[in-house]
Amino acid sequence: MSFLSSLRPGLRLASAPQTVRAFSSSPAHSIARVILTGRLGANPEIHSTASGQEVVKYVIGTNHGPRDNRQTSWFRISNFAAEGPQRDYVLSLQKGSLVYFEGDARMSTWQDADGQNRTTMNIVQRTCTSLSHPISKH
């Protein structure tokens, strides 16, 4: 007996259909979205993939924990935007800039030179917005 039917005898509740994706019109595939607010650990740089495609790579550091035991997590980011305003914007960001970031993440496993299996998280940028300029050290 449900809570509502105990309050109102004779009330019959229809069971809701068991739909997994009741609110979405997007395709039914999994997604891993990452949202970060942190500082750039280095200036973004252009690299080339094995196929010759250019990719902008950078790292974002986020802090957590109390001030006396603060920990930093580093996230490696890739941006595959073609030449143009989006890529130019990311390349103009400087080390220490505070950014708001959204991206898609996936895990991949590979073997290192010693034959050991390694796992890494690959994060591809969707959006990146500068929230402040780098901290100046006077």
Say which residue, 85 or 6, is predicted with more confidence: 85
50-97 pLDDT per residue, tens: 999 999 999 999 999 998 999 999 999 999 999 999 999 999 999 999
* Structure confidence at residue 29 as a pLDDT band (50, 70, 90): low
- Within 8 A by CB and 6+ apart from 82, the residues are none
Mean pLDDT of 16-23: 52
Tokens of 90: 């990311």
Quick one: what percent of the chain has pLDDT higher than 90?
67
In this predicted structure, the answer to whether residue 4 has a pLDDT above a threshold of 50 is no
User: For the chain, which domains are there?
Assistant: 30-132 (2.40.50.140)
Pairing, β 54-64 against β 45-48? antiparallel
Q: Provide the whole-model pTM.
A: 0.70
Mean pLDDT of 112-136: 89
- Please report, for residues 9, 28, 98, 118, the alpha-carbon distance to residue 129 in angstroms, rounded to integers and kept in the order given: 56, 29, 9, 31
- Within 8 A by CB and 6+ apart from 2, the residues are 13
- Residue 83 pLDDT: 92
Sign for the pseudo-dihedral over CA of 129, 41, 82, 126: negative
Pairwise CA distance, residues 40 & 75, whole Å: 10
**What type of residue is 93?**
L
Phi/psi at 63 (5° precision): -110, 145
- Residue 54 pLDDT: 94
Mean pLDDT of 28-36: 82
